[in-house]
Amino acid sequence: MKTYYIYILKCSDELLYTGVTNNISRRFDEHQRGLNKKCFTYSRRPLILIFHQEFNKIEQAISFEKKIKKWSKQKKLALANENYDMLRVLSECRNASHSKYKPDLK
């Protein structure tokens, strides 16, 4: 069975890059060596792999990657640091229209 990975890289300028691959060591090496000058990470090397997660299906990996790419830097770092309490706090809806903030009309 093929394995797929979601990964987060921390760039030298503190920006984060999220990607998906079927070979984490090869892909990290490609980023680190700067094989593609058009790649987001090319001018931001050296890089640090701060998170990766394994998936059995490419569809699951791509879906999770798309979700993570929309997250804030703080939320990505909480995931990478396994700070699940902070991840939960950062995931809470804070919109004024959220039911949590509507007055109780009882």
pTM: 0.86
What are the pLDDT tens digits along the chain (106 aa)? 899 999 999 999 999 999 999 999 999 999 999 999 999 999 999 999 999 999 999 999 999 999 999 999 999 999 999 999 999 988 887 766 655 655 565 5
What range does the domain containing 76 cover? Answer: 4-101
| Number of residues in the chain | 106
Give the per-residue pLDDT at 44.
97
Residue 106 lies in a domain: no
Give the per-residue pLDDT at 93.
73
Q: In sequence order, what DSSP letters do the residues of 81-97 get, joined into one string?
A: TT-HHHHHHHHS---TT
72: three-class secondary structure by DSSP: coil
Residue 96 lies in a domain: yes
Give the per-residue pLDDT at 104.
61
Give the per-residue pLDDT at 92.
84
For residue 71, the domain's CATH number is 3.40.1440
